[in-house]
Structure 1
Amino acid sequence: MTYLRAILLVEDNPDDERLTIRALRRSNITNDIVVAHNGEEAIQLLATIEPLPCVVLLDLKLPKIDGLEVLRQIRGSDRTRLLAVVVLTSSSEDRDIVESYSLGANSYVRKPVEFDQFNEAIRQLGLYWALINEQLPGGL
């Protein structure tokens, strides 16, 4: 039996957190979902969680440490530098997109405002990153 690695959701908005988890569950994504509510909590989790998550869904506008700094620290650590990171944010600012990719984001997804579109975007993200994408062996 293959162990399903967790999905790390880094999200400070309780409504977006609930919607994201609900959309993943409705898509039959059965991976554990670990939630960090700010950047500092995300960095602490990534220092200790075993195995590493299959993907980090990372908001940019976070308290304590913003998402770009979280991404910078993920890529700067030997432990997490190869971890899949999807920026999942409401920002469509060019500078956020460019900076995210410059720091090594694997994908940048703007959260759709419309409920059905939001659910579909999360469904596709979950299916791709948790089931279709070939993960690094050994929880790297």
Structure 2
Amino acid sequence: MNGNRSGLISELLYLFKMNRAFLSHAHLPYHVVITHHEDRESHAGKLLFTEMNAFFCLSITESVTLFIFPNVTQKNVKDTDCFRSDQPGVKITVFDDRTEDFEKKLINLLNEYEPEIFYDANGVSSMIAAGSFTEPLHFSVIDDDPIARSFLNEFIERQDWDCPSDVKTFREGQSFFESKRLEEPGKHVVLLENVLPRITGLEIVKQIRKNYADDTVSIMMFSGRKREEDALSAFKFGVNDFMEKPLKHQEMAVRIKNMTKRMRELVSSFN
């Protein structure tokens, strides 16, 4: 349970970091406000800051809330001091966009307010320092050839994907969909053979694209048949990349990393 909590905090802080990056890119000055209610049933502080039109609001726990306010005036900042003096059960901390070591100070503050949400505050701080606040990456291999599945499984596990990752293999599409693999939080990369039993590779792609866009699921298809129309059909149905067998290991690694990079860039452009 504690591991899940730490993972959740890292994902939430990554979302927060992306919003800050947007404001910085747009050259908008901003303040970050952390409120901590010692009385968990008191929502006065949250209501006050919500009325101030926050750009971003993140309820980290029942008693800790984080806000980003673009273009906050000095009057607004002074208002927080007045509120703090009137409400002894509420702690308020204000940072601006010039604060040094912001993420490290934020982690320390959250750990002070709600230590139970961290099982390893130093570990989370290390993630910040390394710039690795990225969503987990889940690989799914769909191939009826057991040798190909084993090779791809080992190949993926050997690579450095710059984020937490895991891999699962499936013999055909039905077991893949029944596993509800794509419902796991994070980004997904699906590697599949074109010719499969029961459900073809193209049908698998078609079903995936009914529910998942390129910013969530990237798809690479393989084919041992040297037919140009196979690749054209695959791209038409929504794959992100297509490779002919036999696979070239280094080229495949570069192509997959390019796909994951594009997924992150798609998310960044909307935050």
Find the aligned partners of 2:262 and 2:137 in 1 and give their Cα distance.
12
Q: Unaligned 5+ residue runs, structure 2? A: 1-126, 128-132
Give the 4+ runs in structure 1 shifted more than 6 A.
none
Structure 1 match to 2:157: 25
1:93 aligned onto 2:253: no
1:125–1:44 Cα change, 3 Å:
farther
What's the RMSD between the two structures over aligned residues?
A: 2.4
Find the aligned partners of 2:229 and 2:256 in 1 and give their Cα distance.
26
* Structure richer in strand, relative to its length: 2
Match of 1:108 among 242, 249, 265: 242
1:48–1:104 Cα change, 3 Å:
closer
Match of 1:5 among 122, 129, 137: 137
Find the aligned partners of 1:73 and 1:25 in 2 and give their Cα distance.
27
1:81–1:110 Cα change, 3 Å:
same
1:20–1:37 Cα change, 3 Å:
same
Q: Percent identity?
A: 21
Higher relative contact order (CA 8 A, sep 6+): 1
Q: Unaligned 5+ residue runs, structure 1? A: none
Find the aligned partners of 1:46 and 1:52 in 2 and give their Cα distance.
13
What is the CA distance between 1:87 and its match in structure 2?
0.9
Compare CA radii of gyration and give the structure with the larger one: 2
What is the CA distance between 1:52 and its match in structure 2?
5.3
1:37–1:126 Cα change, 3 Å:
same
1:119 aligned onto 2:253: no
Match of 1:37 among 150, 161, 171: 171
Number of corresponding residues: 130
